[in-house]
Each structure stands twice: as structure tokens, then as C-alpha cells.
Amino acid sequence: MLESHRARTAAPRPPLTRSLLNAGAPVVTELRCQCLQTMQGIHLKNIQSVKVTPPGPHCAQTEVIATLKNGQEACLNPEAPLVKKIIHKMLNKGSTN
């Protein structure tokens, strides 16, 4: 009974598609931390863009979300050395245009 009550009263959440889960760490689109899990890195040639979200009222940690060339998104660990290099390269790539 309690479970069916929760199902009726819970706010709808955006579905996580199978392709998003296959990309690595899932990304959520609510006003809270978007990265539930992170990856240590991904090959730079697969990345189209990187979004870095600093800590704020929505989330206490820095979040790095990579949009891949195939349209999928993946959360990356901002403390991982490879991710730091990716961010640096992507920022330099954007400033040379």
C-alpha cells in the first residue's frame, strides 16, 4: 500500500536512457548533483565538449560532464589526472579559435 502511494505522489523524474547508462556514469537533470557516479577518464578523440559546473547550492562538488561525439553524456571525476588534462586541452582548444 505504501509503495503504491509513493508511486502516485512522487514527482516524475526524467528517464535515464539505456544509451546514457552505456556511456558511463549517469547524468541526471534535476536541481541537485547531476553526476551520481564518475569515470576516471575517456579518450579525448571521443569528446565533443566539456561542461564544468562549480560547487553551488545545487551540489557541493565540482561536476565535469563530457558530451561525446555520439551525443551521449558522461560524468568525469574532476580530481582524476586524465580529466584535468582533458579540461586543460578543451579550454585551450576553445581559446585558440
Contact (Cβ atoms closer than 8 angstroms) between residue 83 and residue 40: yes
Tell me the C-alpha distance between 64 and 74, whole Å: 8
Q: Which domain holds residue 22?
A: 2-95
Beta strands in the chain (DSSP E): 47-53, 63-68, 73-76
Question: What do you get for the CA distance between the two ends of the chain, in Å?
Answer: 59
25 φ/ψ angles, rounded to the nearest 5 degrees: -80, 130
Tell me the C-alpha distance between 74 and 26, whole Å: 6
Tell me the C-alpha distance between 43 and 59, whole Å: 26
Per-residue model confidence as pLDDT tens digits over 41-82: 888 899 999 999 999 988 999 999 999 999 999 999 999 999
Helix (H, G, I), strand (E, B) or coil at 31: coil
Per-residue model confidence as pLDDT tens digits over 78-94: 999 999 988 888 778 76
Tally the domains of the chain.
1
Any idea what the CATH number is for the domain that residue 82 is in? Answer: 2.40.50.40
Q: What is the pLDDT of residue 91?
A: 76
